[in-house]
Chain A
Amino acid sequence: MKRIKTTSAGLFFLLLFLATSLSALAQEVEKADLNLNLRYFLKNNKVPYLTVETNTKVERRFEPVQGMAVAVYLNEVAPENLLANVVTKEDGKATAVIPPDKREVWNSSHQHTFIGVAEESERFEETTSEIEITKARLAISTDTTDGARNVMVLLEALDDEGNWIPVEEADVKIGIQRLNTVLPVGPDDAYTTDEEGVALAEFTRDGLPGDDNGNLMLVATVLDNDTYGTLTLEEAVAWGAIVAHSNDFDKRSLFATRDKAPYWLLFLSGFIFFTVWGTIAYLVYLLMRIRKLGKTKPATKPEPAPVELTPA
């Protein structure tokens, strides 16, 4: 009887162990899905760069994946085509630029494919993402007709023969750079390019404060275009109101350095100080007079005999 009990207990614990182990194994097998996105940027028609963005779904919400290693390739996955190995930051993003040694390959075609490969990890399977980009550029020109200020943004793309051709029917945002955002130049947020590749917007923000010379920074943006990526171009234009900034630095103030105390404070504190210490000086003078009287002048009446300390 005792043996049966021992055997049963042993079997129970064996099953428990197996169940726990299998469950753990099952958990290891179930890996989460990783979303990997590549985005192409070109700012001011200069050096292009890519951003790598990673996120995953956690309890019905997408959360960024930090510390994800992603290899970015140009055109095809091969060691010689490696552009960069990047690791995502806290916001799940990382940035990669096209290194100088890939310039020749980059210049060789009007169209390129970028491929991002996130290798298999404990949490995620290997994930690949790619985007195809056609090289494009922006140009801003302005004119004033009958008092109306116009902004013309030209969008052109490179064709396979190396010619820049206008891009029709593309959305371009045209705005003015403010402190933390871009303010649209007119009532519309975005403008569509015509057959000449030009998006035309009227500047209606009269009196907008500019810099010391009245310059405003116009910003034209093609945002997340499937073919051209994100293109941004900035151009200064003297359409703003001149703002004369008053600089209080190094001026006399309550928060300045000790040698820059305000005059009113110097005067007031000095007045109080010298009034009070002048009074103290006068009191010391009175004391000196009392002292002098005692030393030079005999008492007006004879010195009385000291009183006995023991009362009668």
Chain B
Amino acid sequence: MEKEIKLSEAQITADLYPRKFGLPGMLWTSLLIAICLVGAYAYYLQLRDGLGVTALRDYASWGIYISNFVFFVAISLVGSLITAVLRLSNVHWSTPLTRIAEIIAVSGIVFAAIIIIVDMGRPDRFLYVMIHGRLQSPIIWDVVVISTYLVISLLLLYIPLLPDLKIMLQHKEKNIKWLNKVYHFLGSFWVGSKEQFRLSEKAINILAVTIIPVAFCIHTVTSWLFATTYRPGWDSTNFGAYFISGAFLVGAGAVVVAMYVFRKAYHLEKYITDDHFNKMGKIVVLLALLYLYFNINEYLVPAFKMKKFEVEHLEGLFTGHFAGIFWFAIATSMVLPILILLFKSGRKPLPMFIAGLLVVVGAWCKRFLIVTPTMLHPMLPMTDAPEEFMHYFPTWQESAITLGSLAGALLIVTFFTRILPIIPVQETIAEQHETDKDN
């Protein structure tokens, strides 16, 4: 058990107050902006010349855009895990991680929505989804549930932020001038009265209860986009649970990476302690084991039966064209993190960071493997199709847009840390008071 460190209110506020970027922060932000700009230019080319600039064709009509979409939806689920599940379980140690989880959730879900419009080719067609959409289609359910989840995630980010906004408004001179108007608009009405606290607590509790089924819905419905079609690799009744377990894992991995980076960059060792890493490590290893269990089910059972239409798909994954990336994804997203995190020494910040990174990278590859190989193995044989239709490798425009979207999500998180406390100040002070009282 780590020794409790007594911190004054002033010190907590000073430690957690948003700070100007140093040189590494500026370089990091510039790099992200540059990647986003290249992505924006590639998107301009796609808008100008059509989806033909991508490698998406008749067969592989879903490529890295949809893989990226599934990845973003998955990573966004962490908001419900850290904020809601742990809150409702009366777990208090997660307080410093809630806002990290929520901003990852919001940025993830924003870019999930953006990338799906990118995949449509013509953005104006999104309007058609609204006008001509069929309620019977899981795509419509996905549109509805993503919008709902975005709103709930924003509320879950915003309401606990109110006391911190008040703190921000108390130190206007330290803030970027024009942002004071934003803080004023968002939080000037917060006076910290008992009644306001009571109502905000009530709202957060309702949100915590609401977000769990909605989070389950968002990823279950995303899995149904695949599972409701009769295709090798997708024709599974297990897909909802499989997707949710994978989503919790990648979300937790992302939080671990963010914890390490924020702790290092802002010297938050007193707030994001080794104990936090240890506990998050246990959560990640549990989720990795759970996801491994679902993967075994998802691949071993069809491989045991080797139904005729599954053979080519499974052989492609196990020993064929996609074998490299398949085994890489299995190793990085599950096996290696489990091996690292099962041991206490592996649940230290640096090994945890490495394990988290492996989980996130492996998870992206896993989403690619869920989407693309199945598209290249249709039920009916590919005949009278040009050679390029039978393979899929993303073009530079497609890759640039995808990387741009990933950079964009990171940019949201980065800007958020610059303008708002990434660890809840008021809650940390309140918890410190509670600890002082107990002592």
Contact = CB atoms under 8 A, between A and B. Distances in A.
B210 A286 contact: no
A25 B214 CA distance: 81
A255 B190 CA distance: 51
Contacts of A256: 136
B200 interface: yes
A19 to B, nearest CB: 42
Given A280-B151, A300-B194, A309-B17, A258 B159 contact: no
Interface string B183-215: 000001111111110011011001100100010
B193 A299 contact: yes
Interface in B123-167: 132-136, 141, 144, 148, 151-152, 155, 159, 162, 167
* Max chain B Cβ within 10 angstroms of own Cβ: one of A287, A295, A307, A311: A307
Contacts of A297: 191, 193, 195
Interface residues of B, number: 43
Contacts of B417: none
A293 B206 contact: no
B141 A269 contact: yes
Given A280-B151, A280-B152, A287 B203 contact: yes
A253 B135 CA distance: 11
Contacts of B8: 311-312
Contact of B210 (A257, A279, A287): A279
Contacts of A262: 136
B191 A254 contact: no
Tell me the interface secondary structure of chain B in the complex. Answer: helix
A255 B136 contact: yes
Given A299-B192, A311-B14, A287 B136 contact: no
Interface residues of A, number: 40
A290 interface: yes
B10 A307 contact: yes
B9 interface: yes
A178 interface: no
A283 interface: yes
Interface in A224-265: 253-258, 261-262, 265
B214 to A, nearest CB: 6
B171 interface: yes
B189 A283 contact: no
Given A283-B155, A283-B203, A303-B191, A290 B162 contact: yes
Report the 7 A-B pairs with minimum CB-CB distance, sorted nearest first: A294-B189, A306-B170, A311-B11, A258-B134, A299-B191, A291-B189, A307-B10
23 contacts: A261-B136, A265-B135, A276-B148, A276-B210, A277-B148, A280-B152, A280-B155, A283-B159, A283-B206, A286-B199, A287-B155, A290-B200, A290-B203, A293-B193, A293-B195, A294-B191, A299-B191, A299-B192, A300-B195, A306-B170, A308-B14, A309-B14, A311-B8
Interface of A: 253-258, 261-262, 265-266, 269, 272-273, 276-277, 279-280, 282-283, 286-287, 289-295, 297-300, 303, 306-312
